[in-house]
């Protein structure tokens, strides 16, 4: 089914058949602490023989569909990547000792040589700052860098490339790209030490993605394959025909997961990209319930030894979900 909206063709996409969604969310507010309403947008990795998840925890009340202006990041562990147990205390709270900072959220997780690195967004009175911290126990964290506003959605590669650390990011220019249509794009920066970042390069712009007309941004940290860096991104479409779709008066955006392949030796080069969404909001918890429905936000991707890829994604800004695929199928999509 297709329809025309403001001279743009809106296609009703479907999740690619190679993707297998787990029947229900793997984490909900019931798995978090008292007062939690939403648990989503998690970073997930393997660490010391276990799966570890850092998830965004928003407070409020699910039954009355209300949210409080209180957000934190929490840790959960799992033996199988499906069944999770959340820890009782929030993390990265030291960032909030500065009165200029409001809350930290939307973590991405990368493990390099048994050290876990967390990319996060930090809301401040001066704008959104993307940051990177490291930990060896998921209790104490050392903040290594904070970007100037406004920059977010950072995702760190799992190893150095050509002697440099690499991160994907999504700047949000107010007087530049933002007044154009479409809006924000995926960029890449490099660092010798995870503290000082530069050599910033545009990787993918919104107008290069057929299923995005609002913005795009980095998703999970890329995984290394023989064919290239398998890289997820999120893509946003604005649909003025939509109405409420959640707890707010109106929600007219649809978030998809997209996938591309970056060159192993020069990840600034996109060597393949699937020209349709990889994952589309379709199931009950993605389209019919939740704070902001029709949202797929992938924040974690794990390549298992047998070739299975686990993709963790936030659904409806409310739940954390899991889908799987074979790595060979994802690579084939990018190269088709």
Whether the predicted pLDDT of 218 surpasses 90: yes
Predicted pLDDT at 257: 98
| Residue the block writes with tokens 């979900």 | 321
Q: Give yes or no for a contact between 213 and 220, defined as CB atoms under 8 angstroms apart.
A: no
Strand partners, 190: 166, 198
pLDDT tens-digit profile of 4-59?
Answer: 333 445 678 999 999 999 999 999 999 999 999 999 999 999 999 999 999 999 99
User: d(Cα 127, Cα 146) in Å, to the nearest integer?
Assistant: 12
Predicted pLDDT at 179: 64
Q: How confident is the model at residue 174 (pLDDT cuts 50, 70, 90)?
A: confident
Give pTM, 2 decimals. 0.96
Predicted pLDDT at 5: 34
Predicted pLDDT at 109: 98
* Cα four-point dihedral sign 280, 235, 254, 152: positive
Whether the predicted pLDDT of 305 surpasses 50: yes
Q: How confident is the model at residue 156 (pLDDT cuts 50, 70, 90)?
A: very high
User: d(Cα 279, Cα 312) in Å, to the nearest integer?
Assistant: 11
Whether the predicted pLDDT of 175 surpasses 80: no
Predicted pLDDT at 11: 74
pLDDT tens-digit profile of 253-285?
Answer: 999 999 999 999 999 999 999 999 999 999 999
Mean pLDDT across the stretch 297-305?
98
Predicted pLDDT at 251: 98
Give me 185's structure tokens: 């794009």
Mean pLDDT across the stretch 201-228?
96
Give me 281's structure tokens: 């909001």
Whether the predicted pLDDT of 2 surpasses 60: no
* Cα four-point dihedral sign 137, 140, 145, 150: positive
Of the two residues 156 and 5, the one the predictor is more confident about is 156
**3-7, 70-74, 151-155, 185-189: lowest mean pLDDT where?**
3-7
Predicted pLDDT at 180: 66
Q: How confident is the model at residue 3 (pLDDT cuts 50, 70, 90)?
A: very low
Helix H or strand E segment including 328: helix 327-335
User: In this prediction, what percent of the chain has a pLDDT beyond 70?
Assistant: 95
Q: Sort strands 296-303 and 308-315 into parallel, antiparallel or unpaired.
A: antiparallel
């Amino acid at each position: 089914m297709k329809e025309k909206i403001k001279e743009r063709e809106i296609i009703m996409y479907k999740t690619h058949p190679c993707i297998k969604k787990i029947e229900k969310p793997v984490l909900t507010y019931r798995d978090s602490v008292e007062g939690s309403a939403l648990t989503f947008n998690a970073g997930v990795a393997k660490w010391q023989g276990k799966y570890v998840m850092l998830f965004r925890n928003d407070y409020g009340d699910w039954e009355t569909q209300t949210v409080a202006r209180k957000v934190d990041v929490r840790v959960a562990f799992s033996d199988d990547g499906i069944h999770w147990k959340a820890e009782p205390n929030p993390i990265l709270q030291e960032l909030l000792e500065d009165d200029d900072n409001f809350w930290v959220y939307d973590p991405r997780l990368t493990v390099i040589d048994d050290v876990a690195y967390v990319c996060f967004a930090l809301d401040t009175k001066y704008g959104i700052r993307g940051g990177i911290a490291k930990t060896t126990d998921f209790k104490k964290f050392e903040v290594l860098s904070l970007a100037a506003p406004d920059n977010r959605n950072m995702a760190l590669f799992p190893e150095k490339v050509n002697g440099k650390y690499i991160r994907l990011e999504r700047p949000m220019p107010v007087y530049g790209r933002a007044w154009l249509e479409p809006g924000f794009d995926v960029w890449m920066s490099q660092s010798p030490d995870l503290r000082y970042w530069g050599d910033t390069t545009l990787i993918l712009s919104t107008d290069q993605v057929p299923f995005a007309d609002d913005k795009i941004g980095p998703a999970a940290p890329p995984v290394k394959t023989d064919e290239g860096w398998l890289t997820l991104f999120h893509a946003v479409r604005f649909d003025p025909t939509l109405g409420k779709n959640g707890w707010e008066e109106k929600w007219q955006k649809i978030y998809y997961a997209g996938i591309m392949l970056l060159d192993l030796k020069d990840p600034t080069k996109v060597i393949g990209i699937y020209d349709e969404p990889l994952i589309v909001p379709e199931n009950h918890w993605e389209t019919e319930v939740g704070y902001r429905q029709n949202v797929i936000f992938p924040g974690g991707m794990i390549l298992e030894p047998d070739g299975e890829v686990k993709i963790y994604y936030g659904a409806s800004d409310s739940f954390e979900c899991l889908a799987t695929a074979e790595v060979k199928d994802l690579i084939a999509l990018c190269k088709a």
